[in-house]
């Protein structure tokens, strides 16, 4: 079982890089933000509470996200491992993850921090577009789609995320950086942390990421 955790501030590039890494390692991506957006889309009372929390820029409470995420991690497609995008985000979540993996004699193999200074992140989020069908990620400045309002991959409409407005982005940074730093320290102390410069162009970030998990050259996708 290969478990890789992608860490980084909102907008650092986790969702951009996760599909490339997942394809190389042949494991699924488990993205906590996507899981929570599907809870919101269900229209349940829990979904309404989660939506309010996400729009406020705060983290969803540990009980809810740990239950939701670990249920997903137990899915049959993740039996050989997974790329974890956005989880854990607190020390409590990191401990819960270790406990769950220990039941299968597994552990987090690598935690990779994609580091980007905060000022650059606010600009990035303003230019982000995602596709409605599958969440493919674009950026008006650094990674534009071929047509302005359509996904290159599946042709679905491109939209701004509800929590990408500047006020919410700044709130996300303020609320979420301190617990992220605790998680970074947690993995540093376990000797599995690698840090990558997320200001580099997207293909160079990819190369550093694949180096950090020792993906051999023959397993890397062209381009």
Contact residue for ligand AP5 among 13, 78, 81, 83 (CB under 6 A): 13
36 binds ligand AP5 (CB under 6 A): yes
Residues with catalytic annotation?
A: 14, 89, 128, 161, 172
Tokens of 132: 């409605």
Contact residue for ligand AP5 among 198, 209, 212, 215 (CB under 6 A): 198
Give residues 110-169 in contact with ligand AP5 (rule: CB under 6 A). 124, 127-128, 137-139, 142-143, 163
Rounded to 5 degrees, what are φ and ψ at 147?
-110, 145
Single out the residue of 6, 182, 3 nearest to residue 91, CA to CA.
182
12 binds ligand AP5 (CB under 6 A): yes
Strand stretches in 9-100, DSSP E: 29-31, 81-85
Tokens of 223: 């381009």
Tokens of 9: 């501030």
**Secondary structure (3-state) at 114:** strand
Q: Say which residue the tokens 């951009």 belong to.
A: 16
Closer to ligand AP5 by Cβ: residue 78 or 93: 93
Per DSSP, 59 falls in state: P
Contact residue for ligand AP5 among 7, 11, 73, 183 (CB under 6 A): 11
Task: Please tell me the number of Cα atoms within 13 Å of 20 on its side-chain side.
Answer: 23
Contact residue for ligand AP5 among 7, 151, 172, 183 (CB under 6 A): 172
Closer to ligand AP5 by Cβ: residue 105 or 174: 174
Closer to ligand AP5 by Cβ: residue 105 or 153: 153
User: From CA 58, how far away is CA 176, in angstroms rounded?
Assistant: 7
List contacts with ligand AP5 (CB under 6 A): 8, 10-16, 32-33, 36, 53-54, 59-60, 65, 86-87, 89, 93, 124, 127-128, 137-139, 142-143, 163, 172, 198, 200-202, 205
């Amino acid at each position: 079982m290969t478990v890789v955790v992608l860490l980084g501030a909102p907008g650092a590039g986790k969702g951009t890089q996760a599909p490339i890494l997942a394809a190389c390692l042949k494991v699924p991506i488990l993205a906590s933000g996507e899981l929570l957006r599907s809870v919101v889309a269900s229209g349940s009372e829990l979904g309404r509470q989660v939506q309010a929390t996400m729009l406020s820029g705060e983290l969803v409470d540990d009980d809810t996200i740990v239950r939701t995420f670990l249920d997903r991690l137990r899915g049959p497609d993740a039996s050989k491992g997974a790329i974890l995008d956005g989880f854990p985000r607190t020390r409590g979540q990191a401990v819960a993850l270790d406990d769950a993996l220990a039941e299968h004699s597994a552990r987090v193999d690598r935690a990779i921090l994609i580091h980007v200074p905060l000022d650059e992140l606010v600009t990035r989020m303003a230019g982000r577009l995602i596709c409605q069908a599958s969440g493919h990620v674009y950026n008006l400045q650094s990674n534009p789609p071929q047509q302005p309002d359509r996904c290159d991959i599946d042709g679905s409409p491109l939209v701004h995320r509800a929590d990408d407005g500047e006020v919410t982005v700044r709130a996300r940074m303020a609320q979420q950086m301190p617990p992220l730093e605790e998680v970074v320290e947690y993995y540093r102390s376990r000797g599995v942390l690698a840090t990558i410069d997320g200001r580099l162009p997207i293909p160079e970030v990819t190369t550093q990421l694949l180096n950090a998990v020792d993906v051999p050259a023959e397993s890397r996708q062209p381009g």
